[in-house]
Every structure is written in C-alpha cells, then in structure tokens.
C-alpha cells in the first residue's frame, strides 16, 4: 500500500506535512499571450496625445485671437476716445499755449496717450517748472502745471523776468518795481543764450540776491540794482545811488559789513557825502568821497 505522501505527490497536491512537488514556470508566456501585438496599443496612445495637443493648441490660439481682438477694440472704440482736455494751474501761461504744446488731438484713444511724452513737452516750456498728465477714464485728460514764478527782472536793452533758478520767463513791457534788486550788465547775446539754459552771470546774480535775503535785515530793500558787467565781481547800487563793490566771494560776510556801514553813514548826515564803498579787502572798508578815497 502506497503511503499517503506518495499519493499526494502523484495528484500534484502539496501539504504542509508533505514534500514539495515541482512547480511550473509562472513567468513563461503562454502561446496566446505571445502572439499579441503591442505596437497597435502604442500607436493608439500616440494618437491620443496628438489629439489632446492639437486641442490645447486650438484653445490657446482661440484665446490669443480673443485677446488680440479685445485689444484692437479697446484701442479703437469711441467709448475710450478723448473728448476733453482740461488744464489746471495755468495763470501766467495762456491755456491755449499749454494745449498746443501738449498736442493731444480730440478723438485719440486715451489708451494710446503717452503721458511721459506730453509731460516732457510741457516742461520744456520756459514758463513751466513741472507738469503732470492724468488720464481720467473713459474720455478725459487733465493737465496739472506748476508755473515758474517771476523772481526779479534782468535789464538787457529790455526788461525780462527771471525766476529763482535764473530761468528766463519772458519780456515785461510795463513799468514794474520788483521786491528784490534788478539785474543789469547782461548783453543781448547772453540773454539769447539764456532762453535754453541759465547763464553764469545770471546764476551768480541770483545767488547774490539770495545772500541779501538771507541776511534777515532791510539790506535787500535798500539795494536797487546788481550790475554784473564788471570783471572784478558784481557792483551794487543803493536807492540813494551809493556804489558798492563786493567782489566775487565771501558775500555773506561782506554784506553783513555793508549793513553796518550803511547804518553808520545814515547816522552821519552832517559829514561829507560818500559815493562808493569797496568791501573787496579783508577786514577793511574803503569809502570814496566825491572821487577821493
């Protein structure tokens, strides 16, 4: 009689108490599986990816076309066309001149407007210090200007206004009395060159006027004219016709001495009339009396 383990092995059974039988190769390919073709599956996957890519490309082109069409509409729609241009802050400069220099034609798309370019054109005008261009949707533009303020007059054949940066503002045809000394001694050629940029003599004269104002006394009101024609520095003239030579440097210290000299001369009314004061020498004041020192 055969044992139970032998019978189990013949029937291909394996028990925990028996000896393991021989197992087949589970990794081998069956004939049906071996005859299958994988290429068709791969080609179908490639076709799916291509279809999806074309769909994404079509969607992207559609969106780009819509964006481009929207941009064209924004730049051409009458709803965003400039209907009015307003100017604020102009007092001495005519509004018509500001508008002409800004050059913003009505009907232009407000989105095509170049605020930086308009501002540059306006600030190139001699009378305007700063400008700002504001686009107010949907159809209005506001121009804010800060004008240059007249500071004093320069006399060069005719009277012309200067601002506090020695910028030439324009001619003055009427008789006026500025609050600070007027500037003289500039030629017509120097005045013409100042139309594009301040000249060195005008800048020096403005600096001297500022020094007079810094003194904190009534000295600025007593000086009527600053002559810049001399090579040895400015020459000041008081309201009484006194000539003051101040040199080219140390103006604050010399003007302080001049204030004391004028106060002393005012208290000596009985003495000989002084016609000129020379402050160009250090710690020394030279007085001229009727052509004699």
* Each residue's pLDDT tens digit, 229-263: 988 899 999 998 999 999 998 899 999 999 888 88
Q: What are phi and psi of 58, to 5 degrees?
A: -60, -40
**Under 8 Å CB-to-CB from 48, ≥6 apart: which residues?**
none
Provide the whole-model pTM: 0.66
Q: Which residue has the higher pLDDT, 261 or 20?
A: 261
**Domain boundaries along the sequence of the chain:** 79-147, 152-288
pLDDT digits (tens, 9 = 90+) for 174-203: 878 888 999 999 888 888 888 778 889 999
pLDDT tens per residue across span 40-83:
555 567 666 667 667 676 666 677 666 655 555 556 677 888 99
Residues 79-147: name the CATH superfamily.
membrane protein fhac (3.10.20.310)
What's residue 111's pLDDT?
86
State the Cα–Cα distance between residues 20 and 23, nearest whole angstrom.
9
- 243 versus 270: the higher-pLDDT residue is 243
CB 38 within 8 A of CB 29: no
Q: Work out the average pLDDT over 89-112.
A: 92
As given in the structure block, the two tokens for residue 202 are: 């005008």
Which option is the CATH number for 152-288: 3.40.50.11690, 3.90.550.10, 1.10.3720.10, 3.30.1330.10? 3.40.50.11690
Question: In whole numbers, what is the pLDDT of the chain averaged over residues?
Answer: 80
Tally: H helices and E strands in the chain: 9, 12
Indicate the helix (H) or strand (E) that contains 147.
strand 140-147
């Amino acid at each position: 009689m055969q044992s139970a383990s032998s019978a189990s092995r013949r029937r291909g059974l394996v028990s925990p108490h028996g000896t393991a039988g021989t197992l087949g190769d589970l990794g081998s390919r069956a004939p049906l599986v071996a005859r299958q073709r994988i290429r068709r599956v791969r080609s179908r996957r490639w076709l799916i990816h291509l279809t999806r890519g074309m769909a994404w490309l079509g969607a992207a082109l559609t969106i780009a076309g819509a964006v481009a069409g929207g941009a064209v509409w924004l730049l051409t729609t009458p709803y965003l066309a400039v209907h009015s241009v307003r100017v604020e802050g102009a007092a001495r400069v005519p509004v018509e001149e500001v508008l002409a220099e800004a050059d913003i034609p009505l009907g232009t798309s407000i989105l095509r407007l170049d605020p930086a370019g308009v501002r540059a054109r306006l600030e190139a005008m001699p009378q305007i210090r700063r400008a700002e261009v504001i686009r107010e949707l949907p159809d209005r533009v506001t121009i804010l200007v800060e004008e240059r303020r007249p500071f004093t007059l320069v006399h060069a054949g005719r009277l012309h206004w200067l601002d506090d940066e020695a910028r030439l503002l324009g001619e003055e045809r009427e008789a006026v009395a500025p609050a600070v000394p007027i500037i003289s001694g500039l030629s017509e050629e120097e005045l013409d060159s100042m139309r594009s940029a301040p000249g060195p003599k005008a800048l020096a004269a403005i600096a001297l006027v500022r020094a007079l104002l810094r003194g904190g006394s009534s000295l600025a009101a007593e000086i009527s004219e600053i002559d810049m024609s001399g090579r040895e520095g400015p020459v000041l003239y008081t309201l009484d016709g006194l000539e003051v030579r101040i040199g080219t440097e140390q103006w604050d210290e010399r003007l302080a001495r001049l204030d004391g000299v004028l106060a002393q001369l005012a208290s000596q009314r009985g003495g000989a009339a002084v016609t000129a004061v020379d402050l160009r020498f250090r710690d020394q004041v030279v007085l001229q009396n009727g052509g004699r020192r």
